[in-house]
Structure 1
Amino acid sequence: MSETTGIDRDMVLANSNVMSALAVVAVIGLMIMPIAPVALDLLITFNIAFAVVILLVALYLKQPLQFSSFPSLLLMVTLFRLSLNVASTRLILGRGEAGKVIGSFGDFVIGGNYVIGVIVFAILMIVQFLVITKGSGRIAEVAARFTLDAMPGKQMAIDADLGAGLNTEREARRRRREISGEAEFFGAMDGASKFVRGDAIAGIIITLINIVAGFIIGMVQMDLSAGEAMRRFTVLTVGDGLVSQIPALLISTAAGMVVTRQSGAMNLGQTLSIQLFRQPKAIYLASGTLVVFGLIPGLPTLPFLTLGAGFALVGRLMAGRVQAAEEAELAEETAQDEAAAEPVPSPGHDLYVTDTLELELGYGLLPLVDEKRNGDLLQRISKIRRQIGTELGMVVHPVRVRDNLQLGQNQYAIKLKGVEIARAELRVDRLLAMNASGSDASFGGQPTVEPAFQLPALWIDPGMRSAAELEGFTVVEPSAVLTTHLSEIVRAHADELLTRQDVKDLCETVREFAPALIEDLVPDRVPVNTLHNVLRALLHERIPIKDIVTILETLANHTGQGTDAQVERVREALRRTISSLYLEPDGHLHVISLHPHTGQALVRAVRESESAGMVAMDPAFTQRFLERLEQALQAAYRRGTPPVLLVPTPLRL
């Protein structure tokens, strides 16, 4: 049975394009070809049912992008509804009838009184046109504008989280796709809402045409009396308007629900039930208000007292549930705090126990490591250690975090092997807004400099985050600023962090999956000292050492050479890895190349200086070379591509 269901589903998906095209052609055909009243009844019933389905789907959405096809579907449904209006108008004016559904709706609403029927229909049209349609269109317009304005800030925040090790590359790509999808969705909804508004206007015009034209046709062509013509065509016109505007009202409501839906883990019903009944005090106050109204002389007592008692009962039930939920949440937080108090061994902790890296905090920054105060610095550091280790192919030593009263209140210091190599300041109660776009801020803030990349920035209040992101600023938390700075320090000094013990441990790891390689090469043909020097040289240039097998095999083929020559041979063997670090998404590699005459002059100067121990070059030539190189570097930065300089091998050595 499951196999049959899967085959049917695949067949439907495979033929979905053909079915959609046929549906559009059929809708257009309704505007041209006359249909029987029975067929019109079926199509009208389907229109109402489909509108109910769309409304319920919108009700159960957890985020707007789960219904990303809604703008296109909205246009198709609007076209279908207008084609039904054309078909029903043809039947009403041509035959004086339009099937059972339209007639029944008209009789039910009018109920023998044409004036009341027309007024009810007019009220429905006013609600549809002035409230639902206009509101949905305005919401879609505002959502589209703010989504587009916030795109740069969101994308830069993703890049900042990726650089700080909080996200993987796959997660970053997924979030970028979501941001792009949101912008396209709300932009499409802004345009589609104009069709809904036009549909409401068309419904009003069609109704007026049907009443006036039907009255004239009934008296002139059908020889009906004025009263009979007015009765028949008013009933049919009101019924036609109802069966058209009720689905339109449902779909307009669904459009408003979709564009106002915020992304979350629950659908609208679950969210409302939690947020409405989370405050039992509000329900108790509503109950008391109803009871007071019931005791006022002249007002009906029974309805107010009954509803007041009902609200009091609901408040009592919800108060018990809220208390139980709070106790469960408190117990969970206590369990998490107890688990966090136990030391969690990081990868390689048993092997690397030296405090190679230290992070010292001023007393004002201690909340960053206090999990009871939502401090997440330790978790962020653990994540960047894993990320950098995966990126470079080495185990990053644990970072010893401790306080230092000799530092300023908001200062922190990073030490490498006991020596301070970086110091900066943070504001725990503020957010850092980086002015990457170069625009002037319209909001206040304390000017500062981002410590990792020396970018101009502002310390702002948390409440100003949305305003800053809308102006193109990248806004990050203080802990993210610190971990980004720490990650750049680790990358820049990775060669100093790699010890001989690390290299020996790396060889033992390789022995597990390539024992013959290690037994043949290390330490007889490739001493640990040589391997250590080569790996450090690669890390100094931020070249990953993950492909250790290729590195070992290359060294085995070039034994007896100096370290510089061996590093060069390894770089050639790792050419794909190195190139992939700088490739553009389209597969292109932007490089800066030397003019042949310039390259030859530099190589000649290097070779002539081998005996002298220093490079002697013409000062004017050197000045021109440096100016041209600076121009090329600035051009690369403006393009947003990393500068890659191609030089002859002798210049590298």
Structure 2
Amino acid sequence: MDGSLKRLTQLGVPVGIVMIVVMLVIPLPAAVLDLLIAANITGALLILLTAMFVTRPLDFASFPALLLVMTLFRLALNVSATRLVLIDGYAGKVIETFGHFVVGGSLIVGLIIFSILLIIQFVVITNGAGRVAEVGARFTLDAMPGKQMAIDADLNSGLIDEDQARQRRAEVHAEADFYGAMDGASKFVKGDAIAAIIITLVNLVGGFAVGMAQMGMSAGDAVTTYSLLTVGDGLVSQIPALLLSVATGLVVTRSAGEGDMGSDIVRQITANRMPLRIAGFAGMALCLIPGLPKIPFLLTGGALLLLSTRVPDDAPATPGSPAALAAAAEAAAIEAPSRDHPETLAEEIQVDPLGLELSADIIDLVDVGSGGDLLERVKALRRKVAGELGVVVPLVRTRDNLDLPSRTYVIKLFDIEVARGEAPPGTVLAIGDFLGSLPGEPTQEPVFGLDAKWIPAELRSQAELSGATVVDRSAVITTHLAEVVSSHAARLLGREDVRMLTDVVKRSHPNVVEELTPGALSLGEVQRVLQHLLDEGISIRDLVRIYEALSLKAQSSKDLDGLVEAARAALGPAVVAPHLVDGVVHVISFEPQFEQRMLECLRITEQGAMIALDPVTLQTVIGGLAQLLVDAENRNVRPVLVCAPGLRPAVRRLIRPAVDRLPVLSYPELTGTAQVRSAGVVSGERVMEVTS
């Protein structure tokens, strides 16, 4: 039964529209026309009542399409009625009754009533509803990016889940589509009012001409027969048109409320006793004016005074009313001292681990409706980093910042700016060496510092044909964010993140976790080891082997450097794998005698192992390493520095401030590497470069 009803409703509207088109061509019997006119009036009344009982405009989302169908139906009825009036001089009982009984058989009265209805519909209701629909559509579209960002901010902060965010985004798009459709539908109502005037004038002239020229009637008989039927036809059409115009105005002016329009109006009018009393006394006071009838004003004023006695003094204030605003202000004043509570302050001072702020002119990057895909790319970036480094990147809080210069984005780490870039609207970034022929703004790629140029988006194909690498603005920001996340992964790994990762390992390898923590090492000590690994660009995905190595090493020593080296040794080839190119790793090494000297100068401090060499020797070593690194990079080689295992942590601390991008490995970590090639040798006195 339900399936049959569903098929009936699916076919009903298309069949009805086809029948409306048929009505424009095929004459209808007067009895059928009476039935359709009754259906038109009843349907318009139903639509008006439905518009009054919805709680928000989207609850009647089909109204724009329904308005177009009803307008077409009414025009088809006009055509059918005009055909019957001009051919037969009779168009059914409904039109005849409206032409004779409703207007008293007077053409003048009928024309006046018809004109008043047109003025009410065209000048007052239609123009007002059209203006409200236009403004509503404009404001709704302008507010879409802000609403999208608010939804994404709630999603990133965990206030809503993916399903709720998807539902709210759908509602935002539905609201924009609805008001856009209403803006167009209001033009149908206005056009219908104009058409009614033209059709009535044509029918008046045509009926008078047919009556006198074809039927041989006198002028008086022609007016009586045809003109009154034309006025009746106009009235029959304008009553449902007026109802639909009112329904249009109700829908576009309806704001979200707690109930239907009637309930809201009654509740809001009767929310306060004083206005009812003042209006009641004012109505009764009008009786004092000489000449005015006393009974009507006494009845209306007395009714308001009686109603005021039924309204309690403590009636709840209507949301959005002045009383409600005053009550809210009073409540806020009462609750103000509670904002000084330590827990409240603690919540307000929380900072986001990772944030992305956009200037006002580039928030289109996060607006899905206009093709923005930045948020989806950020989500993909979080998955990519988790797969590569084994770190669950915190949610990226994306928001707009009106204080930023135009076309600017800022990446923040714990609410502190760590990177900034530009993404001019309407452009793409072309990266290459031969960009002089392309118009645009020269710049540098934010991650690798390559020469680039912001060019108009329509020149993308031309830039690609010239050999340039072209990336869109979202990709530029995402790549920059990925670089920041990778370089600060150690800072982003919090204690709770380590606990979560440990719990994941415990589900599959419970014995490994039980041997490690909390007996052998605390969670904080495990966190420091993992942070050191991330700090040197080593993935911590293989937590099982890392935890196994840490539990064994912790039995003899809890020295941080020793724990880190034990974890690196357990990872083995995974440490050197990122530095392999076609199975080859290029290494910079120390001269053996100088390396032995550094081992002898090794000192253990609270910050870890340090090399106690004189400043001149240290400067020579650092300068030599920097020179070899630059020379290797000029040959498109990414070398690593290799040394003895006991020396590696100290060497890393030594060169990090000056040559941070040079990885430091130990000899055992190169075991199993397919091929090792020397990129240079360094000592305290000289630098020997090897280019083969």
Q: Following TM superposition, by how much is the alpha carbon of 1:55 offset from its aligned partner in structure 2, in angstroms? A: 0.9
Separation of aligned partners in 1, 2:72 and 2:533: 62
After superposition, the CA RMSD in angstroms is: 5.1
User: 1:227 aligns to what?
Assistant: 220
Q: How does 1:590-601 map to 2 (within 5 A)?
A: 600=581
User: 2:585 aligns to what?
Assistant: 604
Q: Following TM superposition, by how much is the alpha carbon of 1:602 offset from its aligned partner in structure 2, in angstroms? A: 13
Separation of aligned partners in 2, 1:263 and 1:141: 18
Q: Following TM superposition, by how much is the alpha carbon of 1:222 offset from its aligned partner in structure 2, in angstroms? A: 1.6
User: 1:131 aligns to what?
Assistant: 124
> Kindly tell me: are residues 69 and 499 of structure 1, through their superposed partners in 2, closer, same or farther at Cα, counting changes over 3 Å?
closer
Q: How does 1:211-290 map to 2 (within 5 A)?
A: 211-290=204-283
CA contact (8 A) 1:369 1:378 kept: no
1:152 aligns with 2:145: yes
Q: Following TM superposition, by how much is the alpha carbon of 1:292 offset from its aligned partner in structure 2, in angstroms? A: 1.2
1:452 aligns with 2:433: no
Which of 402, 413, 420 is residue 435 of structure 1 equivalent to? 402
Separation of aligned partners in 1, 2:172 and 2:317: 38
Q: Following TM superposition, by how much is the alpha carbon of 1:102 offset from its aligned partner in structure 2, in angstroms? A: 1.1
Q: How does 1:450-489 map to 2 (within 5 A)?
A: 452=415, 454=417
Which of 180, 185, 198 is residue 178 of structure 2 equivalent to? 185
CA contact (8 A) 2:546 2:571 kept: no
> Kindly tell me: are residues 496 and 299 of structure 1, through their superposed partners in 2, closer, same or farther at Cα, counting changes over 3 Å?
same
CA contact (8 A) 1:165 1:384 kept: no
What secondary structure, in the 3-state scheme, does the structure 2 residue paired with 1:604 have? Answer: strand
How many equivalent residue pairs?
471
User: 2:630 aligns to what?
Assistant: 619
CA contact (8 A) 1:38 1:99 kept: yes
User: 1:111 aligns to what?
Assistant: 104
CA contact (8 A) 1:368 1:376 kept: yes
Q: Following TM superposition, by how much is the alpha carbon of 1:240 offset from its aligned partner in structure 2, in angstroms? A: 0.9
Letter in 1 for 2:629: D
Separation of aligned partners in 2, 1:53 and 1:524: 74
Separation of aligned partners in 2, 1:134 and 1:19: 32
Separation of aligned partners in 2, 1:155 and 1:58: 28
Letter in 2 for 1:75: L
What secondary structure, in the 3-state scheme, does the structure 1 residue paired with 2:50 have? Answer: helix
Deviations 1:195-241 (A, max 9, x none): 11111111111111111111111112122221111011122111111
Separation of aligned partners in 2, 1:535 and 1:450: 19
User: 1:309 aligns to what?
Assistant: 302
Letter in 1 for 2:567: T
Q: Following TM superposition, by how much is the alpha carbon of 1:185 offset from its aligned partner in structure 2, in angstroms? A: 1.0
Q: Following TM superposition, by how much is the alpha carbon of 1:267 offset from its aligned partner in structure 2, in angstroms? A: 2.1
Which of 188, 199, 205 is residue 206 of structure 1 equivalent to? 199
Q: Following TM superposition, by how much is the alpha carbon of 1:99 offset from its aligned partner in structure 2, in angstroms? A: 0.7
> Kindly tell me: are residues 156 and 31 of structure 1, through their superposed partners in 2, closer, same or farther at Cα, counting changes over 3 Å?
same
Which of 61, 64, 76 is residue 71 of structure 1 equivalent to? 64
> Kindly tell me: are residues 61 and 310 of structure 1, through their superposed partners in 2, closer, same or farther at Cα, counting changes over 3 Å?
same
Separation of aligned partners in 2, 1:300 and 1:87: 48
User: 2:21 aligns to what?
Assistant: 28
User: 1:563 aligns to what?
Assistant: 567
Q: How does 1:494-643 map to 2 (within 5 A)?
A: 495-498=493-496, 517=508, 521-523=512-514, 562-564=566-568, 600=581, 604-605=585-586, 617-619=628-630
Separation of aligned partners in 2, 1:23 and 1:75: 13
TM-score, normalised to structure 2's length?
0.57
Separation of aligned partners in 1, 2:591 and 2:50: 77
User: 1:400 aligns to what?
Assistant: none
> Kindly tell me: are residues 565 and 510 of structure 1, through their superposed partners in 2, closer, same or farther at Cα, counting changes over 3 Å?
closer
Q: Following TM superposition, by how much is the alpha carbon of 1:280 offset from its aligned partner in structure 2, in angstroms? A: 1.3
1:168 aligns with 2:161: yes
TM-score, normalised to structure 1's length?
0.60
CA contact (8 A) 2:549 2:570 kept: no
Letter in 2 for 1:434: N
Separation of aligned partners in 2, 1:229 and 1:568: 107
Separation of aligned partners in 2, 1:77 and 1:624: 76
Deviations 1:342-371 (A, max 9, x none): xxxxxxxxxxxxxxxxxxxxxxx9764569
The answer to which of 303-312 and 32-41 deviates more is 303-312
The answer to which of 523-532 and 245-254 deviates more is 523-532
CA contact (8 A) 1:526 1:556 kept: no
Gaps of 5+ in 1: 1-6, 342-364, 386-390, 393-431, 441-448, 457-489, 543-547, 572-593, 627-647
Share of identical aligned residues, percent? 40
What secondary structure, in the 3-state scheme, does the structure 2 residue paired with 1:618 have? Answer: helix
Separation of aligned partners in 2, 1:143 and 1:499: 46
CA contact (8 A) 2:352 2:413 kept: no
Letter in 2 for 1:110: V
CA contact (8 A) 1:159 1:172 kept: yes
CA contact (8 A) 2:268 2:318 kept: no
Question: Max radius of gyration: which structure?
Answer: 2
Gaps of 5+ in 2: 354-378, 383-398, 420-487, 535-539, 553-564, 599-621, 638-662, 671-692
User: 2:5 aligns to what?
Assistant: 12
Q: RCO greater where, 1 or 2, for CA within 8 Å and sep 6 or more?
A: 1
